[in-house]
Amino acid sequence: MNNGNSATPTTPWEASVAQYLKKHGFEAFQPKAVLFDMDGVIYDSMPNHATSWQKAMDSFGLHMTAADAYRYEGMRGVETIKLLAAQQWQRQLSDEEAQRMYSVKTRYFGQCPPAQKMEGVEALMKLISSMGLTIGVVTGSGQHTLLDKLENDFKGLISQRYMVSSFDVTHGKPAPDPYLKGLHKCGELKPWQAIVVENAPLGVRAAQAAKIFTIAVNTGPLPNQLLADEGADMVFGCMEEVRQSLLAQKSSSASSSSSDASALVSETLP
């Protein structure tokens, strides 16, 4: 879509990008980086999270269901615990107390079988990388076990340089801060110079608050509509669908340089 004018969009990508530009009042979409969320996007780790959340909170007498784990997914763990305590105990926990409870959850999580790579995510990253786009990771996680695994599991695709975790920000998702930090780490990018890949409603909300084009991939049990309601610019059912959509956009691009990210570029300036 590098026609450089406001011609009628003809592909799903072009239609979504045109809507995105209108929504935020931007004049151009020139992606240079793709920011991936980690849990439920890069790793199929959400079932482990749901189980360890339930066990840990139960040990403190706080009620948390598997569905809650998906609903609050993306938030920093201590913030989720403070929220539950405020709702069920009518009490504001100190950072220290919440952190102490979160460390129990972390311990249970560490005892779970290792999370596998999300099906299709590596092939998607390879395509994105071959298009000349930087791959970043923006996660609310503070799980050292997973963060350390990333570079190793995705050699040549993921670098610590372009990684944002709960250690990098004070305000986690759904605040825009983690994604703004991701833009910063990937080279002082503007919101219209990146794409976010998310799976969780609160993650989509964070990416939208940062005004970044947001692809939601629904890898969990929540309905697609929840992701659309948070403002996702596109919603897919799996990673392979995203890859196919990107390939289709590349091949439909009139550009002779359709092997690079220019296939995704859009400008509304006449």
For Ca ion, the binding residues (CB under 5 A) are: 37, 39-40, 199-200
Tokens of 172: 């986690």
Residue 169: CB minimum distance to Ca ion, A: 15
Tokens of 93: 């926990």
Residue 37: CB minimum distance to Ca ion, A: 4
Please enumerate in sequence order all residues whose Cβ is within 8 A of that of 135, keeping only pairs 6 or more positions apart, or say none: 33, 34, 36, 125, 128, 129, 157, 158, 162
Instruction: Choose between 16 and 141: whose C-beta lies nearer to Ca ion.
Output: 141
Instruction: Choose between 82 and 173: whose C-beta lies nearer to Ca ion.
Output: 173
Residue 202: CB minimum distance to Ca ion, A: 9
Residue 107: CB minimum distance to Ca ion, A: 21
Which whole-number Å values give the CA distances from 3 to 112, 263, 264, in the listed order?
50, 9, 10
- Report the candidate in 265, 247, 269, 268 with the shortest Cα–Cα distance to residue 255: 265
d(CA 135, CA 100): 33
What are the DSSP calls for 9-46, one per residue? P-SHHHHHHHHHHHHHT-SEE---EEEE-SBTTTB--H
Instruction: Choose between 42 and 57: whose C-beta lies nearer to Ca ion.
Output: 42
Count the alpha carbons within 13 Å of 248 in the hemisphere toward its beta carbon.
11
Residue 147: CB minimum distance to Ca ion, A: 14
Tell me the residue nearest to Ca ion as measured from the CB: 40
Whether residue 200 contacts residue 230, with contact meaning beta carbons closer than 8 Å, is answered with: no
Instruction: Choose between 172 and 191: whose C-beta lies nearer to Ca ion.
Output: 172
Instruction: Choose between 17 and 235: whose C-beta lies nearer to Ca ion.
Output: 235
Residue 218: CB minimum distance to Ca ion, A: 11
Query: Residue type at 111?
Result: Q
Instruction: Choose between 134 and 139: whose C-beta lies nearer to Ca ion.
Output: 139
